[in-house]
Amino acid sequence: MMDIRKLTIKTAAMALRKKEISPVELIEKFYERIDVTDETIGAYISLEKEKALEQAAKASSMIDDGSSLLAGIPMAVKDNMCTEGTKTTCGSRILGNFIPPYTATAVSRLGEAGAVMLGKLNMDEFAMGGSTENSYYRKTRNPWNTKMVPGGSSGGSAAAVASGQAIFTLGSDTGGSIRQPAAFCGVVGLKPTYGTVSRYGLVAFASSLDQIGPVTKTVEDSAIVLNAIAGRDKRDSTSIDTGINDYTQGINESPVGMKACIPVQYLSEGVAPEVRSKVQKAIEYYESIGVRCEETSLELADYAIAAYYIISSAEASSNLARYDGIKYGYRSNDFNSLLDLYKNSRSEGFGDEVKRRIMLGTYALSSGYYDAYYKKALKVRTLIKQEFDKLFDEYDFIIGPTAPTTAYPIGEKEGNPLEMYLGDVFTVSVNIAGLPAISVPCGLDSAGLPVGMQLIGRAHGERTILRAAHAYEMGNPFPIAEEVSHGL
């Protein structure tokens, strides 16, 4: 009997090629799983069963000729990536009736590779949040303990993989929104170098920081997905042709001889003792297999949170100005003038967290404050990038925790957004510098919740961190979510 919760891209592809199961049967099994679990988990906003079954039927020829490992593989997409003919809400009321006329490049490339989209995944509204409690539609729960948050903003993406509701998913990462939920849910989350994956069709939060990436069960699966979605796109001027054709190349090679550094700021007193302990054990494992690990300092890391929230909020206030109740999306029925229409549509359509960041960003960009806040944050961004560049002159990758804690109870930080912002302390600098990073599970705390370890690489150094992460994963197998205890 096939346990779909344990399927990876490679094992599912093998089963499909051996005719142990047909692509249509596999898709049916995942919808059965979603029917049983998603009322509790809340990973999905919408499902596309009819389209998925049509895609699965068409995937058979690609499976037979072996042209793509992704052919017939069930996946799902964060609901801020446009999908032609399928509602795209960004977890917001203001886009509750929006059906895009086009598909995001990353999603269409997966379709061309034969992957089958099951549906669209829940998220913090417009990707603003770290817990997936800010969605207009529902809260998502952590499959390891359904009283806990799954992280965010790609909480639906991580929870769907951890609970066996999809083999892999796509998320977006503006300041840690793939890596932090991956850490909380005990799965693998990869944030590629900025520009590696096209942002065409990704609804913008902060355009200079956003990047699409995979959430998977294994490191190798992340490399397989990246192969499909990476590459230059003429519709996105920020996308890059890296010249890398295969991110799985060299993934099985030993990392012996590599040099890694551990910034002392990443294992400071602000990190939960059990998180620090698990990451230190992972560092010891790397040393045991021939990786040279040294402590160093990343002094400007202390300024990353402040710079990130000024830059991201400023870009968000500009990007979200387009939602005016006129062109598309939610429109208030309560207005007596054009100004009333704008004001009421935005007041009723946006949630509190989005409003908070629009106000913060507008303030930082306003006359008299631009130089004091936004311009200064951009200067700090440059300095942070330069500090990372100096480290990578000497080291192959950086090791640290993905988040300072494991998952926390639902509702615990809803009244204290600043405390939630501080949970991004180890992830935002990666986006500021445009670097690649991966989160891999490195153990469980005493409450049975996953701990995530983050590996950061130099620009376009995905193959290095994938190789290092894969080596750790091979020596430290990680279980799937203990769903039986939750009735899942």
| Residue 487 confidence (pLDDT) | 47
For residue 265, give the 3-state DSSP assignment.
Answer: helix
Q: Is 332 a catalytic residue?
A: no
Q: Where are the domains of the chain?
A: 4-258+393-486
Q: What is the pTM of this model?
A: 0.96
Q: Which of 68, 177, 345, 439 is catalytic?
A: 177
Sites in the chain below the pLDDT cut of 50 = 483-485, 487
Residue 261 to residue 177: CA distance in whole angstroms: 24
pLDDT tens digit sequence for 229-287 = 999 999 999 999 999 989 999 999 999 999 999 999 999 888 999 999 999 999 999 99
Give the residue from 145, 136, 27, 19 showing the smallest Cα distance to 79: 136
pLDDT of residue 146: 97
Selecting among 78, 120, 191, 413, the annotated active-site residue is: 78
Note if 18 is an active site residue: no
Backbone angles phi, psi at 406, to 5 degrees: -90, -175
Q: Are strands 44-47 and 116-121 parallel, antiparallel or unpaired?
A: antiparallel
Under 8 Å between Cβ of 155 and 181: yes
Q: What local confidence, expressed as pLDDT, does residue 422 receive? A: 85
Q: Rounded CA gap, 127 and 203, in Å?
A: 9
In sequence order, the 6+-apart residues with CB closer than 8 A to the CB of 221 are: 8, 9, 10, 167, 168, 188, 214
Let me know: does 379 contact 371? Beta carbons within 8 Å: no
Beta strands in 239-299 (DSSP E): 259-263, 292-296
DSSP type of residue 5: G
336 SS3 class? coil
The answer to whether the bond into 198 is cis (omega within 30° of 0) is no
Q: What is the pLDDT of residue 58?
A: 93
pLDDT at 484: 39
CA distance 449 to 481: 9
Q: Are 465 and 436 in contact (CB under 8 A)?
A: yes
60 is catalytic: no
Q: Amino acid identity, residue 56?
A: A
- Among residues 108, 135, 153, 172, the one annotated as catalytic is 153
- Sheet with strand 211-216: strands edge to edge: 44-47, 116-121, 74-78, 168-173, 211-216, 188-191, 437-444, 450-457, 397-401, 259-263, 292-296
Q: What would be the CATH architecture of the domain defined by 4-258+393-486?
A: Alpha-Beta Complex (3.90)
Q: How confident is the model at residue 219, as a pLDDT?
A: 98
